[in-house]
Chains A and B, each alone.
Chain A
Amino acid sequence: MFFRIRFAKYGVIKFIGHLDIMRYFQKAVRRSGLLIEYSQGYSPHQLMVFASPLGVGITSDGEYMDISVENDAVEITEAVKAVKGDYSAEIIKSMTDEELALAGNQAAQAIAKTISGSLTEGTEIISIRYIPWREGEKHPENAMSLVNGADYLMSVKDGYLVEGIANEEEAAEKWQKFISQDSINIVKKTKNGEKEMDIKPYIFASAVNDADIKELTDEYGLLHADSYESGIKIFLRLSAGSQTNIKPEAVMEAFCAFCGIEFNGFAWQIHRAQMYSNVLEKTPL
């Protein structure tokens, strides 16, 4: 069965890079004893797909990974038993889509519990859901290929003064001017050199005050976002994924340039709040 897990990454774990986080989860799953499926071939690896890499130093409440769990896993057999009274490979095949969803959702909760027991402080499962799929069908599209948008919260860290936007009011005013432009051109580095690009169409939403930000996030999105004294925040909803990936730093660079200052990456804490499979419809992964 396929499941999609939403998880948080925060605290000191923000310094662990993407590849190491993948290895960390692989080990956590092995420690947990969960019967995850493995790929075929001489050196089989766990069937685990991460939606999108998160840069070092960035915290998140909106990370996603897909896992494929063996039907024989106790979390699934127990769920199937709860729905059908018994478990066997044949019983699973005979189940209707509704029954599978019922068992899958129940198994999902048990799987979250199993994995959570092996996680250390700084990683946390926020939610998990069953991805409908029947044996023999084409595999469901994975989180990595689905993602097309992401939310970010940019906050000025303690100990840093960003000139030109020294307080919340100033930041709000400048941001309003910046975002009201007809186009926002940046220079994007590509394999074939530099290319000018208008990123305005890829900024789907933004906000600078708490009420507006709250409006744009769900109850978990900012759970592990650190807050800082200055209160200066900028919330961004950007295009993400394989089509057009806009980094929040690129937007901030353009904003800072607009304000006549240089973007200092150390001054801003980036927090990813959510990822979407359909950002225009606001459908989370």
Chain B
Amino acid sequence: MRKLALSDEILMSVDKSARYIGHEVNAVWKDLDSVDIRFCMCFPDVYEVGMSHIGIQILYEMFNRRPDTFCERVYSPWPDLDKIMREKNIPLFALESQDPIKNFDFLGITLQYEMCYTNVLQILELSQIPLMAKDRSWEHPIVIGGGPCTYNPEPLADFFDIIYIGEGETVYDQLLDLYKECRKNNDSRHEFLVKASHIEGLYMPSLYEVEYNEDGTLASFTPVEGAPEKVKRQVVADMSEVVYPDKPIVPYIKAIQDRVALEIQRGCIRGCRFCQAGMIYRPIRERSLEFLEKYAIAMINSTGYEEITLCSLSSSDYTKLAELMEFLIEEMGRRRINISLPSLRIDAFSVDVMKRVQDVHKSSVTFAPEAGTQRMRDIINKGLDEETILKGARQAYEAGWNKVKLYFMLGQPFEEDSDVEGIPHLADSIAMEYYDTVPKEKRQGRCQVTISTSYFVPKPFTPFQWAAQITPEEYTRRKTLLMDTLKQEHNYKSIKYNWHDSQTSILEGLLARGDRRVGRVILEAYKLGCIFDAWTDFFDAKKWYKAIENAGIDMDFYTTRERSTDELLPWDYIDTGITKKFLKREYEKASRAEVTKNCRDACAGCGCNTWNTGVCVENK
């Protein structure tokens, strides 16, 4: 029997001890004497969240295919165990070997959302690794970050040795090979980092010097010791010739994503101006039907899951969706496997498909108009008109659904009160459509339309990266306006309104567009006891404001200030392939409520065609 890092008594004292024992179906085990590199992959949130992330499963598979490397996993210990580990001075351990992470060669941390930043510090501290990169030696692992938040890693710059910019499937082999060579040559840790800075896509925060103007804006951002001026985003050229896990790990306890996840494509053609994912994963690249069919069957057979879900930013844009669905309905039906289909645009085809794979009485239909008026939807380039939404709703009602969910954002640039009022108006029209479509005798009570609003956070590498975030007070005012308008709608009894907490979003805004100085806020917040900030139960806004005060940071400078398009931005050294010219052009078009066509209809000239792949070379 394998050893456990925690005693029975500790495991019996904490909630869900299965989070900490590893040993899951398809977890990899290697003979420790046969490997040169110990890599620990971390998702800095609780196990059930982290285990639901396919990115880690992809990299786990990729690393473990190397005979010289053993990749293991770690997730944030829940506060109950966190407390015990601190009291008893137990070092954080990897799930597979249960060995302390401080003895590993690498600790890779995926950064999926800003509100996990204090958990990064928790991971480092519990691992007994110095929080500050400058305090580390060869005694400690190389701490490397990746994931969508690395498109502005500056607030975390002091805590990481390396930041990997872009898709993980490309240059890790080079990094690990270089590491082995440097260790063999007895290079210093610093020498290794300098050498690694020449691998495309790797950013070493310690090799860049930052100067600020008197007004607080960036004056210069200068590489030292020969580090490159620009760090180029890594992009997988062929999504059908790249590693994917055919045997994903199956947790014993129910993860958030308790099903097989099949990533059908990466990127999005839509170009919504608020959406960071729609920009930083460009160009859209589809996986071949053959690839997806093979992996769907392999993953179902190797995991025993009873459900498969298709992952992508917009499933409807997958060109062979009809063929794929035919295949899945046939093959999964035979195996009694359910199919879930998120991110669908609601049209006749998707209503038909959904009807075949879902129970209309239990499930709901989701639309993400993101804005209530046509003017506003044009500003954000949503590419969706009211007629299409109403038609989609009608088709869904005719097919038997009576629950509709609607997602909106408040506080996007150029939003006026009439746009806010447009949200309940639209919801009312959607509800009205139900009573017009479904005859009285066939109705099962009222229809249920649910409006959710989130508080818009401008993100780097989007056309709105320069825009001001609205203040929490303004968000509350618009929320109240929405609510008051809703009460006057004809069908208000059929409409429910949920809103997102404003305190989290404004802090997310600070972390998303912060510079290196914002790192102090994260450190202060952590020292004040903040962890699991993405969890409502643990999030403590007061502590964060105290941390901002302690760090001497002007919150408004980062959140509610509109930047000039000439300003040097903290993330400008990253070359995502998307030109600043394109982003500026899109911002200007937004101000005129002018739409830009999607990538398939016409190239918008974003600059990503230099990758020569995906939609940029389709039909050529």
Contact = CB atoms under 8 A, between A and B. Distances in A.
A172 interface: no
Contact of A266 (B1, B8, B17, B301): B8
Contacts, number: 74
Contact of B25 (A17, A120, A157, A269): A120
Interface string B307-348: 000000000000000000000000000011000000000000
Interface in B235-287: 250, 252-254
A29 B21 CA distance: 23
Interface stretch (A19-27, A91-99, A175-183): A19-27
Contacts of B24: 120
A107 B250 CA distance: 29
A258 to B, nearest CB: 24
Contact of B12 (A10, A11, A57, A120): A57
Contact of A157 (B8, B21, B335): B8
B304 A29 contact: yes
A234 to B, nearest CB: 18
Contact of A26 (B2, B254, B306): B306
B149 to A, nearest CB: 32
A173 B12 CA distance: 30
Contacts of B2: 11-12, 121
A265 B13 CA distance: 11
Interface in B2-33: 2, 4, 7-9, 11-12, 17-18, 21-25
B252 A20 contact: yes
A85 interface: no
A11 B1 contact: yes
Interface string A6-50: 000011110111001001101111110100001000111000000
A117 interface: no
B359 interface: yes
Interface in A33-85: 33, 38, 42-44, 56-57
Which of A27, A29, A33 is most buried by chain B, counting CB atoms within 10 A of its CB? Answer: A27
B12 A265 contact: yes
B137 interface: no
A164 interface: no
Nearest to A120: B25
A146 B544 CA distance: 58
B440 to A, nearest CB: 26
B18 A16 contact: yes
A88 interface: no
B89 to A, nearest CB: 18
Contact of A27 (B21, B22, B303): B303
B222 interface: no
Interface in B160-209: none
Nearest to B16: A17
B330 to A, nearest CB: 18
A30 to B, nearest CB: 4
B291 interface: no
15 contacts: A12-B22, A15-B21, A17-B253, A20-B253, A24-B25, A27-B305, A29-B304, A30-B304, A30-B306, A30-B335, A31-B302, A33-B301, A57-B12, A122-B23, A266-B8
Interface of B: 1-2, 4, 7-9, 11-12, 17-18, 21-25, 250, 252-254, 300-306, 335-336, 359
